[in-house]
């Protein structure tokens, strides 16, 4: 399968959106485009499994290599392993759901969809890039769409949030940039990830570059204490914006932490692993407790995202194969879950015009579909078996437990304790909004989900359940790729 | 004779245009509209002619030197002048002395061409003066505005001062080496303290022209007072040409003293970026804002120059090319708005998107390019400058530069926010954009989007500079 299709599809969609004449055209073009992306993602999954079934065990499949800046040895080098395939699948799920829930956007529809698709384009490009420079290019492409999406279509203190997000992410990028240039010159003028993974980089340089790259990507994925853009950014963004931010953009960071920082600089990773573990354990607990104090549904999900994303960073810090597989599963699971969460919150807000849990109540009676989905995603978040959250977190804990010393054990136990807190805030939020008597009589007239909202929710729920009931296929994708990373860490 | 014609063809074409304008002026004269169209066509011809017959060689006993890279640099400047003639058409049509304006501008351009090609301190000095004095006259072109005269006065005084310093440096250099030819000076340099002093004086003169901190104080006032056509000429064409000759002087003449100038360059680059950025944060007037942002951009150029090899040359030439598009687009939009509504403050740009989506997108694109955000070309330009600067493994230096990108993003976003997000009861009215301005803005927009992605542009510059 030609990987350029994955960039071509969103690019074509974006151009078509620009050329379209009216709102209906814009929406349908975007929907068709995102369906095409979903189809491509599934085709990629199928083709990937076929190749693996035929015992094609090369690390990267479907590689493409075109010269770009020849004199600087920068190339369009693309290729996918299991991790990329899983992330691309996640992206396509979130994109189609995001397009569907934004169906009724009235303000500057064309610009909205154009920016949304540009954001998706950046994510696809990022996940298939095997050249650091190109990867960085795709990472940065999303800055403009994110900023404008929040600033123009957002709510609350949107300008502040948009600025904060853009500047903090730019700060992360600046660190990545320095780390990237460091790698480039150490490896004798190459940005190629595959080449870099084969060069031995002196330990002192690894110790210098690893923090730059890990913290740089960490900003994108809410590494404590650089997570502060997350609550503001997510709560101010429009629904689809929050879904993209939490569902896709934060995964870019996690992917970078693993694929670039940890994989390319294993000695650095070993050196700083304990600090990563401490920080992510803090993030997990702090995020959970901070969520307890929130009354705004979007803030609840934003802080709980900090906590949940902490699990994937914890998994990376544990440096065992199972833990890293779990970390990746958590990325996919959290992407689907949090996108669904924001979608549901958006649906509720569109109807009740409030996000405060204490101003709602008994919504189950008026909108059974939306609240049912809310239940499902809540239960996924607190780790109910049968849904994706359980599988991912369990794998992280199992992997963490493989480290038998006291430090790792304590960190694991501390992180596991957060599940109790999660249960408290999730059940309380659901209880206050969905159960009980209807406190606000104007809520009696509210309608349940429309077709587009139902479709979006069903797609994401299907993803969550597919991982929760049959995690084997995801495991098959991720485990061999995690093994490659572990091999490099073990120095094989 | 034949060699003279080919090697000096850029200069000759510009001279021919100047004389043509002169004859038109002293003859019957022409209406502004038709004269402007004529000039635009001639400048386009000048730009296109720059692509042909580029060869390497020297003239006048090695005083004048040219090669394909220098021809390319001249072409960037020609392109910039052509774009300015399109972008500022609305203002130009209204000026009383259009022919004189272009005679002055082209004389300055001629000076810059000679300056880039100079291979000798004498011709360098003469060309530099030729490139400076007409610009001071141009700065005074808003004849009824007091600020314009003030700007011109500041400009001529500071230029005269820096020329004096330059001459002093040249005389010291001549005194210790006994020659004024670039290659011979390089052979004679031994790093004695007098030579270092001479170098400091020369460096100071360059710093004045490039508005490197702490010699940047004239910039904002002159930019604010001058008509936008002149401001954009100063900030893009003038800066670009000085940056080119600065590289030549550092790499060719002062190569033996590279340890001395590397340290100076690093310190001044950091100071220029930081101070330019910090001052830009609080500017209200769009011209002053762009003035300080251009100071910060020069800081980045210095990062690239510090690499001291062909990578640095390539990155700087490439960056200036992108800078022509980005900065001229920003100035072009500012010029259109100022010409139609008289508004030059960033606060007055609020709600611009509602009334003028095209101008808003171009301005946003230009600002994102200046900030170095992909997919705009500015991203590539800045990244390659940092790559060139990082070759010496000075990580802290690159880190400071990268962190400065965050500060600059903050103030560029301020403008973007005003355009797209802030509400305004009295926004700039709907502006009817004339065809030539629209064409120029589209060229700039296309340049901003494409130059980065079309990698052969960079590779072409690389080939040219690698051959040196």
Q: What share of chain A is helix, strand, coil (3-state, %, to 5)?
A: 80, 5, 15
Q: At a CB cut-off of 8 Å and minimum separation 6, what does B352 contact?
A: B337, B359, B360, B363, B418, B419, B427, B428
Q: Quickly list DSSP for A2-21.
A: -THHHHHHHHHHHHHHHH--
Biggest CA-to-CA distance, chain A: 69
What is the total count of domains within chain B?
1
- The pLDDT score that the predictor gives to residue A176 is 92
Instruction: Please report, for residues A10, A85, A120, B67, B158, the alpha-carbon distance to residue A45 in angstroms, rounded to integers and kept in the order given.
Output: 18, 6, 18, 54, 66
Q: What is the pLDDT of residues A133-148, one digit of tens each?
A: 999 999 988 888 899 9
Least confident of A163-172, A437-446, B144-153, B315-324: A437-446
B108 pLDDT band, cuts 50/70/90, is very high
Q: Is the pLDDT of residue B112 over 90?
A: yes
Contacts of A181 in chain B (CB under 8 A): 386-387, 390, 398
Contacts of B406 in chain A (CB under 8 A): 167, 170-171, 174
B450 touches A: beta carbon within 8 Å: no
Q: Report the distance separating Cα B313 and Cα B302, nearest Å.
A: 11
Q: Is the pLDDT of residue B1 over 70?
A: no
| pLDDT (tens place) for every residue of chain A, 492 residues total | 888 888 999 999 999 988 888 888 888 888 999 999 999 999 999 988 888 888 887 878 888 888 888 888 888 889 888 899 999 999 999 999 999 988 888 888 888 899 999 999 999 999 999 999 999 999 988 888 899 999 888 888 888 899 899 899 999 999 999 999 888 888 888 888 888 888 888 888 889 899 999 999 999 988 888 888 888 888 888 888 889 988 898 899 999 999 999 998 888 888 898 999 999 999 999 999 999 888 888 898 889 989 999 999 999 988 888 999 999 999 999 999 999 999 999 888 888 888 888 888 778 888 888 889 988 998 888 888 888 888 898 899 898 888 888 888 988 998 888 888 998 898 888 888 888 788 777 777 778 878 888 888 999 999 999 888 888 888 888 888 888 888 888 876
Query: Any idea what the Cα angle at residue A484 is, between residues A480 and A489, rounded to 5°?
Result: 140
B143 pLDDT band, cuts 50/70/90, is confident
A188 touches B: beta carbon within 8 Å: no
Contacts of B379 in chain A (CB under 8 A): 137, 140
Q: Which of B371, B389, B420 to mutate to test the interface with A (most CBs of A within 10 A)?
A: B420
- The pLDDT score that the predictor gives to residue A35 is 92
Q: Report the distance separating Cα A397 and Cα A412, nearest Å.
A: 7
CA B14 to chain centre: 18
Task: Give the ipTM.
Answer: 0.89
- The pLDDT score that the predictor gives to residue B468 is 65
Contacts of B367 in chain A (CB under 8 A): none
B454 touches A: beta carbon within 8 Å: no
Asked if A159's CB is within 8 angstroms of B422's CB, the reply is yes
B100 touches A: beta carbon within 8 Å: no
- The pLDDT score that the predictor gives to residue A447 is 81
Contacts of A141 in chain B (CB under 8 A): 374-375
A162 touches B: beta carbon within 8 Å: yes
B398 touches A: beta carbon within 8 Å: yes
Mean of the pLDDT values across residues B431-458?
88
Asked if B398's CB is within 8 angstroms of A71's CB, the reply is no
Q: Which of B303, B315, B417, B448 to mutate to test the interface with A (most CBs of A within 10 A)?
A: B417
Give alpha helix (H) positions in B258-372: 258-280, 286-305, 310-341, 352-355, 357-371
Give alpha helix (H) positions in A187-202: 193-198
Q: What is the pLDDT of residues B168-181, one digit of tens each?
A: 999 998 988 888 88
Q: Report the distance separating Cα A36 and Cα A20, nearest Å.
A: 18
Contacts of A166 in chain B (CB under 8 A): 409, 413
- The pLDDT score that the predictor gives to residue A352 is 84
Q: Which of B399, B466, B467 to mutate to test the interface with A (most CBs of A within 10 A)?
A: B399
Q: What is the pLDDT of residues B178-237, one digit of tens each?
A: 888 888 888 888 878 888 898 999 999 999 888 898 888 888 888 888 888 899 999 899
Domain span at residue B321 reads: 2-466
């Amino acid at each position: 399968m030609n990987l350029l299709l994955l960039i071509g599809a969103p690019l074509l969609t974006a151009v078509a959106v620009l050329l379209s004449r009216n709102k209906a055209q814009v929406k349908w073009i975007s929907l068709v485009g995102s369906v095409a992306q979903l189809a491509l993602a599934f085709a990629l999954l199928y083709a990937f499994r076929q190749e693996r079934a035929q015992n094609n065990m090369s690390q990267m499949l479907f590689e493409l290599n075109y010269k770009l800046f020849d004199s600087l040895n920068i190339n369009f080098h693309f290729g996918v392993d299991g991790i990329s395939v899983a992330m691309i699948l996640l992206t396509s799920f979130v994109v189609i759901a995001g397009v569907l829930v934004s169906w009724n956007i009235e303000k500057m529809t064309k610009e909205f969809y154009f920016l949304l698709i540009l954001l998706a384009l950046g994510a696809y490009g990022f996940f298939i890039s095997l050249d650091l420079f190109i990867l960085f290019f795709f990472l940065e492409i999303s800055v403009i769409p994110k900023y404008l999406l929040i600033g123009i279509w957002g709510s609350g203190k949107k300008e502040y949030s948009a600025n904060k997000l853009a500047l903090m992410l730019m700060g992360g990028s600046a660190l990545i940039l320095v780390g990237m240039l460091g790698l480039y010159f150490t490896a004798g003028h190459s940005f190629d990830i595959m080449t870099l993974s084969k060069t031995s980089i002196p330990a002192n340089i690894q110790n210098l570059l690893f923090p730059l790259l890990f913290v740089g990507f960490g900003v994108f994925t809410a590494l404590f204490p650089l997570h502060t853009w997350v609550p503001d950014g997510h709560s101010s963004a429009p629904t689809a914006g929050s879904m993209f931010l939490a569902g896709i953009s934060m995964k870019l960071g996690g992917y970078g932490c693993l694929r670039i920082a940890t994989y390319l600089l294993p000695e650095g990773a070993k050196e700083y692993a304990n600090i990563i573990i401490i920080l992510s354990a803090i993030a997990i607990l702090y995020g959970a407790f901070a969520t307890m104090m929130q009354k705004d549904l979007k803030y609840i999900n934003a802080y709980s995202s900090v906590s949940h994303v902490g699990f994937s960073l914890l998994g990376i810090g544990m440096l065992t194969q199972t833990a890293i597989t779990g970390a990746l599963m958590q990325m996919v699971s959290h992407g689907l879950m949090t996108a669904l969460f924001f979608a549901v919150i958006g649906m509720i807000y569109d109807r009740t015009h409030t996000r405060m849990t204490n101003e709602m109540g008994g919504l189950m009676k008026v909108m059974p579909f939306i609240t049912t989905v809310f239940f499902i995603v809540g239960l996924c978040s607190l780790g109910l078996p049968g849904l994706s959250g359980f599988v991912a977190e369990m794998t992280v804990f199992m992997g963490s437990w493989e480290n038998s010393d006291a430090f790792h054990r304590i960190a694991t136990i501390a992180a596991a304790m957060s599940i109790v807190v999660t249960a408290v805030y999730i059940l309380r939020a659901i209880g206050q909004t969905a159960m009980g008597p209807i406190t606000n009589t104007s809520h009696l007239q509210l309608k349940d989900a429309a077709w587009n909202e139902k479709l979006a929710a069903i797609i994401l729920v299907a993803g969550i359940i597919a991982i929760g009931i049959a995690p084997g296929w995801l495991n098959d994708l991720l485990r061999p790729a995690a093994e490659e990373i572990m091999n490099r860490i073990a120095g094989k | 004779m034949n060699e003279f014609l080919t090697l000096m063809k850029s200069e000759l074409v510009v001279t021919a245009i100047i004389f043509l304008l002169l004859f038109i002026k002293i003859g019957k004269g022409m209406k502004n509209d038709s004269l402007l169209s004529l000039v635009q066509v001639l400048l386009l011809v000048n730009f296109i002619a720059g692509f042909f017959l580029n060869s390497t060689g020297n003239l006048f006993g090695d005083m004048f030197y040219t090669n394909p890279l220098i021809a390319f640099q001249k072409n960037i400047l020609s392109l910039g002048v052509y774009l300015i003639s399109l972008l500022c058409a609305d203002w130009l049509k209204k000026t009383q002395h259009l022919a004189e304006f272009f005679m002055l501008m082209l004389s300055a351009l001629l000076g810059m061409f000679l300056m880039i090609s100079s291979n000798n301190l004498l011709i360098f000095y003469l060309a530099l003066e030729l490139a400076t004095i007409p610009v001071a006259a141009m700065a005074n072109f808003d004849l009824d505005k007091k600020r314009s005269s003030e700007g011109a006065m500041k400009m001529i005084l500071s230029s005269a001062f820096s020329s004096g310093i330059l001459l002093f440096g040249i005389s010291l250099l001549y005194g210790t080496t006994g020659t004024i030819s670039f290659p011979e000076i390089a052979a004679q340099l031994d790093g004695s303290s007098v030579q270092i002093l001479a170098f400091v004086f020369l460096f100071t003169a360059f710093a004045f022209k490039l508005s490197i901190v702490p010699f940047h104080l004239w910039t904002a006032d002159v930019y604010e007072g001058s008509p936008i056509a002149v401001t954009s000429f100063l900030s893009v064409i003038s800066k670009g040409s000085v940056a080119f000759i600065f590289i030549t002087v550092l790499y060719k003449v002062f190569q033996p003293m590279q340890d001395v100038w590397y340290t100076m360059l690093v310190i001044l680059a950091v100071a220029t970026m930081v101070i330019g950025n910090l001052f830009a944060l609080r500017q209200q007037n769009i011209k002053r804002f762009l003035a300080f942002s251009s100071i910060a951009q020069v800081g980045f150029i210095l990062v690239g120059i510090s690499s001291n090899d062909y990578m640095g040359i390539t990155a700087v030439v490439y960056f200036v090319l992108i800078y022509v598009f980005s900065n001229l687009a920003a100035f072009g939009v500012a010029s259109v708005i100022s010409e139609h509504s008289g508004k030059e403050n960033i606060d007055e740009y609020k709600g611009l998107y509602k009334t003028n989506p095209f101008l808003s997108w171009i301005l946003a694109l230009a600002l994102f390019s200046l900030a170095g955000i992909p997919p705009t070309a500015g991203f590539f330009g800045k990244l390659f400058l940092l790559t060139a600067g990082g070759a010496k493994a000075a990580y802290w230096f690159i880190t400071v530069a990268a962190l400065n990108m965050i500060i600059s993003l903050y103030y560029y976003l301020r403008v973007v926010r005003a355009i797209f997000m802030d509400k305004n009861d009295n926004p700039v009215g709907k502006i009817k954009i004339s065809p030539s301005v629209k064409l120029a803005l589209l060229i700039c927009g296309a340049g901003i989007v494409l130059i980065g992605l079309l990698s052969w542009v960079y590779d072409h510059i690389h080939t040219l500079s690698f051959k040196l």
